Structure 1
Amino acid sequence: MDTVSAWAPGVGFTLLPHVGGMLGGLITDREIHGWYEYLEKPSWCPPNWMFAPVWGTLYTSMGYGSYLVWKELGGFNKKSMVPLGLYAGQLALNWSWTPIFFGAHKPGWGLVALLLTTGAATATTSSWYHVNKTSAYLMFPYLAWLTLASVLNYRIWKDNPNKKKP
């Protein structure tokens, strides 16, 4: 195995989640100082600057965890279909939240997307635990953040029932 083919999968898997994060960031940047700024938010809402580094860290850890599962199971095959399929599903759900919440200004539907993401991420973590415990542990901070994000999304939805675009 040459040098590039030895490290390329690890880098690719680790960077993959960032693709959707960067695309979502384009939507968020348009709305953060517009519609979102005028929403009622709870006092415990993290400051805006905190979201990018947190998501960057979480995307990196879940991406690396997916690489560990892929490597442990010998690549894409019958054994890896469920754990990596669950991962792909939760990642797609994760990426859907930003266009729903920020792009469409639909906090209620954003909450639905977050709850589905949390369920799929939990199932992913459980399936990974049976393959590679480290990969599952790498998902724990993500699950904690999804819980916080869900409660925050719920509060924004409930506290802004008629908030229209400024």
Structure 2
Amino acid sequence: MFWLLFSIFLTACIAAGSTGGLFSPGPWYRNLAKPSWTPPDWVFPVVWTTLYLCMATAGARVAMLPDNGVAMAFWALQVALNSLWTPVFFGLKKIKLGMVVLTALWLSVAATMVALWQVDMVSGMLFIPYLIWVSIAGALNASVWRLNPDEAKQASAPAP
């Protein structure tokens, strides 16, 4: 049963991650000013693959346990917000709105971690690296916003 549930949760993670292929960074992002501590491009797929495996494992473990409703609801919320950031930031080129989505994602990941922990400590612990990475992503998004004020204003302006 675990492997079936793991496959379902992993499919949800892969679906969220597929937005990266649909809305890749491209020249717009490459031309933005970024902080010196921006991770190299190769880090992102390695980290996200690891995180998606942890997320799927945590979801599958808790899905098999009683009293998992709140944890499963938060798990669904965080994966939905996870899939939203890339189209907002890279697709729409909305730096400030991307920060709003990332803030909501951070809150949902933290809430998911706590809810998972209450049902299964290991599952909650599997979300710690995810919360750390979303914190780094939030700091990066905020830095890009700060370093590119004209781009943030231009991308936020309504179309003529």
The normalised TM-score by structure 1 is 0.86
**Pairwise mapping of residues 84-99 of structure 1 onto structure 2 (< 5 A)?**
84-99=72-87
- Give the distance between the partners of 1:52 and 1:83, measured in 2 at CA: 26
Whether the 8 Å CA contact 2:68–2:119 is kept in 1: the answer is no
Deviations 1:79-118 (A, max 9, x none): 3321100110111111100000000001111111011111
Paired residue secondary structure (2:149): coil
Deviations 1:112-161 (A, max 9, x none): 10111110111111111110001000000000001110000000011111
Paired residue secondary structure (1:46): coil
| Equivalence for 1:50 | 43
Give the % identical residues. Answer: 36
What residue identity is the alignment partner of 1:71? M
Whether the 8 Å CA contact 2:19–2:86 is kept in 1: the answer is no
In the TM superposition, what is the alpha-carbon distance from 1:9 to its structure 2 partner?
Answer: 1.9
What residue identity is the alignment partner of 2:132? A
**1:141–1:6 Cα change, 3 Å:** closer
TM superposition outliers: structure 1 runs of 4+ over 3 Å: none
| Equivalence for 1:16 | 12
**1:6–1:50 Cα change, 3 Å:** closer
| Equivalence for 1:82 | 70
- Give unmatched runs, 5+ long, in structure 1: 74-78
**Pairwise mapping of residues 1-166 of structure 1 onto structure 2 (< 5 A)?**
7-28=3-24, 32-73=25-66, 79-163=67-151
Whether the 8 Å CA contact 1:70–1:84 is kept in 2: the answer is yes
Whether the 8 Å CA contact 2:78–2:105 is kept in 1: the answer is yes
In the TM superposition, what is the alpha-carbon distance from 1:14 to its structure 2 partner?
Answer: 2.8
The normalised TM-score by structure 2 is 0.89
- Give the distance between the partners of 1:109 and 1:15, measured in 2 at CA: 27
What residue identity is the alignment partner of 1:160? N
- Give the distance between the partners of 2:103 and 2:95, measured in 1 at CA: 12
- Give unmatched runs, 5+ long, in structure 2: 156-160
The number of aligned residues is 153
